[in-house]
């Protein structure tokens, strides 16, 4: 079997792998991208970010139609055609997937379908499936591991794909279940709880920690729990799943802790996180350190084996598509000799697309105090925003966490309508080391939701103009 040579071989075509491959092509590097599936885009495009947000968009439109009379509109009875909703979701995914494939072709990336396995510091084999026959031998100056992650399973509720579901399974439901219990209140859990509650399911969400979205600011988590309660979602924090037993008609669930009890549901979604795909890809053939399944890397995403990198969910950096993409670009630019900087993980925006949305960047108030900062905070509620009132979306607020002595903005936390769009301004402020004063002196258009960021900056000094 003849060996084929490339500058870069990337294993996995998710938002880390395919973005890195495109950038490598732009820089003139001979690049091969190995993907086990017959399409590119990975979990984010096919089983995660995009299809989930497509369903959330449908839920948003449905909610707005049900409230049409508040805007003086009579629309009659609104019906849900779940089959058409699922078709639309798949259409969005398919169109974007074709776009990714086209971009890879445009930039000269050779896409190879198969299972990639490292066979030495500069060698990669391509196999027909994980346990199939070897089909090609590749050599490369640089190998990038971008194999991603899969839903994490727990022993008390193993996936069966029918009653006990992963986030992959729940995307393909052929119906809206009458009742759903969600185990885990991270971003995935709260998004699916929001979707199915909006479409009429009775939803219970169970979280072992004291609040929803444990990584977010405490006030934001409290506000989301309040909003979920208003929607009729049964929120049980400080509660653990003891068992989930499928029955003929659904699942019998036993809970312990604050929300202890026995409940039944048509289906259970286990959304307790994800685990890296680091087995079966030949890491034993190179000097790569693994901890809890994660490939250990330095600030440049390089492993203990020179020339072998790991990006995205397979390493222990934040499990976010935009982080994987930034890592992919950084790695290929570095090997191409470009001037690069490490990914600024402290400036990573977190976005959760439930209703209301949640978005944040930088330090929470608690984390800032733990790091020794003298902290000031300012909060402005959307209830006082003219634009939010016009749109009929007044839940939530903007909160700014600032350092007292030098006025630096340390974090911005938003819960409310379009929070995931509004957070971009905050990201730019943190990247530039901006201050509260600079935010105050930045003119924000009126009437906009973004004015609420401006008002929160004023509120840091107790000077909000439209609230207080």
pLDDT tens for 56-76 read: 999 999 999 999 999 999 999
pLDDT value at position 468? 79
Distance CA 40, CA 97 (A): 6
Distance CA 251, CA 158 (A): 12
Instruction: Tell me what the mean pLDDT of segment 361-368 comes to.
Output: 97
Characterize the bridge pairing of strands 274-276 and 202-206: unpaired
Residues 6+ apart with CB under 8 A from 62: 78, 80, 198, 199
Identify whether the C-beta of residue 444 lies closer than 8 Å to the C-beta of residue 365.
Answer: no
The residue length of the chain stands at: 468
Instruction: Tell me what the mean pLDDT of segment 417-428 comes to.
Output: 97
Enter the tokens of residue 328.
């992919």
**Is it the case that residue 201 has pLDDT exceeding 80?**
yes
C-alpha 273: how far from its chain's center?
A: 11
HSE-CB at 135 with a 13 A cutoff on CA atoms is: 14
pLDDT value at position 129? 87
Enter the tokens of residue 26.
């732009």
Q: What is the pLDDT of residues 448-467, one digit of tens each?
A: 999 999 999 999 999 999 99
Compute the mean pLDDT over every residue in the chain, rounded to the nearest whole number: 96
Identify whether the C-beta of residue 103 lies closer than 8 Å to the C-beta of residue 269.
Answer: no
379: nearest Cα among 457, 272, 276: 457
Residues 6+ apart with CB under 8 A from 382: 388, 393, 394, 395, 396, 397, 398, 416, 417, 449, 452
Instruction: List the catalytic residues.
Output: 446
**Is it the case that residue 2 has pLDDT exceeding 80?**
no
Distance CA 144, CA 22 (A): 13
Distance CA 313, CA 327 (A): 11
pLDDT value at position 89? 97
3-state secondary structure of 129: coil
**Is it the case that residue 392 has pLDDT exceeding 90?**
yes
Q: What is the pLDDT of residues 215-239, one digit of tens each?
A: 999 999 999 999 999 999 999 999 9
Q: In which band, very low, low, confident or very high, does the pLDDT at 327 lie, cut at 50, 70 and 90?
A: very high
Q: Please state, in angstroms and as integers, the Cα–Cα distance from residue 32 to each residue in 24, 25, 232, 332, 339, following that order.
A: 10, 10, 50, 13, 23
**What share of the chain has pLDDT > 70, as a percent?**
100
SS3 labels along 304-373: CCCCEEECHHHCCCCCCHHHHHHHHHHHHHHHCCCCCCCCCHHHCCEEECCCCCEEEEECCHHHHHHCCC
DSSP 173: -
**Is it the case that residue 286 has pLDDT exceeding 90?**
yes
DSSP 446: S
Distance CA 261, CA 242 (A): 10
Residue with tokens 């494939």: 101
Instruction: Tell me what the mean pLDDT of segment 412-428 comes to.
Output: 98
Phi first, then psi: give them for residue 408, nearest 5 degrees. -70, 140
Q: In which band, very low, low, confident or very high, does the pLDDT at 272 lie, cut at 50, 70 and 90?
A: very high
Instruction: Tell me what the mean pLDDT of segment 168-186 comes to.
Output: 97
| CA-based radius of gyration for the chain | 24
pLDDT value at position 131? 87
Burial of 400 (0-12, 13-18, 19+ CB in 10 A): buried
């Amino acid at each position: 079997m003849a060996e084929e040579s490339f500058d870069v071989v990337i294993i996995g075509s998710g938002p880390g792998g395919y973005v890195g491959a495109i950038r490598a092509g732009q820089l003139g590097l001979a690049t091969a991208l190995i993907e086990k599936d017959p399409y590119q885009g990975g979990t984010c495009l096919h089983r995660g970010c995009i299809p989930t947000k497509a369903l959330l968009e449908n839920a948003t439109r449905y909610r707005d139609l049900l409230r049409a009379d508040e805007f003086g509109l009579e629309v009659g009875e609104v019906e849900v055609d779940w089959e058409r909703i699922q078709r639309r979701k798949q259409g969005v995914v398919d169109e974007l997937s074709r776009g990714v494939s086209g971009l890879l072709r445009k930039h000269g990336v050779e896409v190879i379908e198969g299972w990639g396995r490292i066979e030495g510091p500069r060698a990669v084999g391509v196999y027909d499936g994980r346990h199939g026959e070897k089909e090609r031998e590749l050599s490369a100056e640089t190998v990038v591991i971008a194999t991603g992650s899969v839903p994490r399973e727990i022993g008390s509720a193993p996936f069966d794909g029918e009653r006990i579901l992963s986030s992959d399974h729940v995307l393909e439901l052929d119906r809206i279940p009458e009742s759903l219990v969600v185990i885990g209140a991270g971003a995935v859990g709260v998004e699916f709880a929001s979707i199915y509650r909006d479409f009429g399911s009775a939803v219970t969400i169970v979280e072992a920690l004291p609040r929803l979205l444990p990584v977010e600011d405490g006030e934001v988590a409290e506000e989301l729990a309040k909003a979920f309660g208003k929607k009729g979602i049964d929120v049980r924090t400080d509660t653990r799943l003891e068992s989930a037993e499928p029955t003929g008609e659904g699942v019998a669930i036993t809970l312990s802790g604050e929300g202890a009890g026995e409940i039944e549901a048509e289906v259970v979604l286990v959304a307790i996180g994800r685990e890296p795909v680091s087995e079966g890809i030949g890491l034993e053939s190179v000097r790569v350190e693994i901890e809890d399944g994660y490939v250990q890397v330095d600030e440049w995403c390089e492993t203990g084996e020179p020339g072998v990198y790991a990006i995205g969910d397979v390493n222990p950096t934040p499990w976010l598509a935009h982080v994987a993409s930034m890592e992919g670009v950084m790695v290929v630019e570095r090997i191409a000799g470009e001037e690069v900087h490490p990914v600024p993980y402290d400036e990573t925006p977190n976005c959760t697309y439930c209703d209301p949305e949640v978005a944040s960047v930088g330090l929470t108030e608690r984390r800032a105090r733990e790091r020794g900062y003298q902290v000031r905070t300012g909060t402005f509620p959307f209830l006082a925003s003219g634009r939010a009132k016009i749109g009929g979306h007044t839940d939530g607020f903007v909160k700014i966490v600032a350092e007292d002595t030098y006025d630096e903005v340390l974090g911005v936390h938003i819960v409310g309508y379009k929070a995931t769009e509004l957070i971009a301004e905050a990201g730019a402020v943190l990247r530039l080391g901006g201050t509260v004063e600079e935010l105050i002196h930045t003119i924000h258009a009126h009437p906009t939701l973004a004015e609420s960021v401006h008002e929160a900056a004023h509120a840091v000094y107790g000077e909000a103009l439209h609230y207080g």
